[in-house]
Amino acid sequence: MTRRYLRILLVGSLLSLTACAPQSEVRQMHQSISTLNKEMTQLNQETVKITQQNKLNADSTRGVYLLPGANTPARLESQIGTLRMTLLEITPVADGAHATLRIQGESRDPLPAFSATVEYGQLQGTTENYQEVNAQSLLVNAPASLLAPSDVNISLPLKGITPAQLGFIRIHDIQPVNQ
């Protein structure tokens, strides 16, 4: 069902019900329709971000992309095994933004200590023809896990970019580190 058809159906239902419904029920119906419209808009935006993230990762030869707003993990085959990565939260800080990256190992073995390169910045253009703008990078280190299956949360200080400006985070060059 298309969005336009759904709106026509909702408006038609609203008009037919307002003729015989008390005003309190009409107001409640207006609020419900408004809430549904907001939720549909949010789902549409999330769908666009998921589609973009999937396309970027399908075309990527170096690492994995995570897009704010996609709310979807991405998998990466690395030197330490298959990893599932998720962007948890992005918050504003004085000199930019702060994000939390969750990396989960998909094997039954604990994750070894590792380092990774994280690049972040803005995306301009379309999914088919995009350009990374104002890209910056940082090296992160994660300690070895003691338990399996294991996951680690990594704090990412994203200097010089606000949460609204952040278009992508790309993780690559994951290397085991000897402790």
Residue 122: which CATH number? 2.60.40.1620
Q: What is the pLDDT of residue 151?
A: 86
Into how many domains does the chain fold? Answer: 2
If residue 48 lies in a helix (H) or strand (E), which one and from where to where?
A: helix 23-59
Residue where the block lists tokens 């029920």: 25
Range of the domain at 37: 3-54
The residue assigned the tokens 């990466």 is: 76
Is 41 found in the same domain as 96?
Answer: no
Query: Same structural domain for residues 49 and 68?
Result: no
* Judgement on whether residues 71 and 125 belong to the same structural domain of the protein: yes
Examine the domain organization and report whether 14 and 98 are in the same domain: no
pLDDT at 32 (0 to 100): 85
**For residues 102 and 24, what is the distance between their CA atoms, to the nearest angstrom?**
46
Same-domain status, 79 and 50: no
Are 80 and 162 in a shared domain? yes
121 and 139 in a single domain? The answer is yes
The whole model's pTM is what?
A: 0.77
Tell me what pLDDT residue 19 has: 61
Do 87 and 20 share a domain, yes or no? Answer: no
Residues 94 and 144 in one domain: yes
The confidence score (pLDDT) of residue 40 equals 86
pLDDT along the chain (179 residues), means of 10: 65 63 78 86 85 86 91 92 93 95 89 95 83 92 82 94 94 89
Give the domain-ending residue among 36, 54, 72: 54
- Which of 104, 109, 68 has its CA nearest to residue 89? 68
Same domain, 108 and 32: no
pLDDT at residue 179, as a whole number: 64
pLDDT at 33: 85
Q: Where are the beta strands (DSSP E) in the chain?
A: 64-66, 74-78, 81-93, 96-105, 114-125, 130-142, 151-159, 168-176
Tokens of 173: 């060059």
Q: CA-CA distances (angstroms) from residue 171 to 29, 42, 64, 135? A: 45, 26, 5, 13
- 32 and 86 share a domain? no
Q: Give 69's Cβ-side CA count (13 Å radius).
A: 18
Q: Which pLDDT score is estimated for 116? A: 96
pLDDT of residue 175: 93
Question: What's the rounded Cα separation, in Å, for the pair 135 and 130?
Answer: 13
Q: What CA–CA distance (Å, rounded) separates 41 from 162?
A: 23
Q: Does one domain contain both 107 and 21?
A: no
Whole-number Å distance between alpha carbons of 48 and 101: 21
